[in-house]
Amino acid sequence: MDSSITLGGSPGADLTKLSDREKQELQQFVVNESQKARIQQSIHSLTDICFRKCITAKMSSGKLDRTEEPCMQNCVDRFMDANMTVLRQLEQMRTQM
């Protein structure tokens, strides 16, 4: 995502005019939006990985068929399991050092 927030052409958006409470609300809003963006980024990356693995047959319908749907679901869950395994393994290595 584009990291810069351009406020060009909107003279009303003057940060100095905000009250402390508004500034805090805005800060919280940015934190929440960043988290949402991170989650969406993960969804894009998981879809990319799992589409490659699960949608291998000739595409005859726009819907996911009986095998594709569970494959995509399993793919998401197993990817996350695998990710947890890596983290646990690394944690173990750290404590053994």
Partner 1 sequence: MSFAPSSSDPKTEIMNQIRQEAAVANARQLVEKLNEHCFERCVPKPGASLSSGETTCYTTCMEKYMAAWNTVSRQYVARIQRESAAAPRY
Cα 96 from Cα 83, distance rounded (Å): 20
For position 88 contacting partner 1 by CB under 8 A, the verdict is: no
Q: Closest approach of Cβ 94 to partner 1, in Å? A: 19
Q: Closest approach of Cβ 26 to partner 1, in Å? A: 6
Helices (H), the chain: 20-54, 68-96
Q: Closest approach of Cβ 9 to partner 1, in Å? A: 9
Q: Which tokens go with 6?
A: 């351009």
- For 44, half-sphere exposure in the C-beta direction (CA atoms, 13 angstrom radius) is 7
CB neighbour class for 64 (10 Å; exposed up to 12, middle 13-18, buried from 19): middle
For position 31 contacting partner 1 by CB under 8 A, the verdict is: no
Residues that bind partner 1 (CB under 8 A): 1-2, 5, 7, 10, 12-15, 17-18, 22, 25-26, 29-30, 33, 36-37, 39-44, 46-48, 50-52, 54-55, 59-64, 68-69, 72-73, 76-77, 80
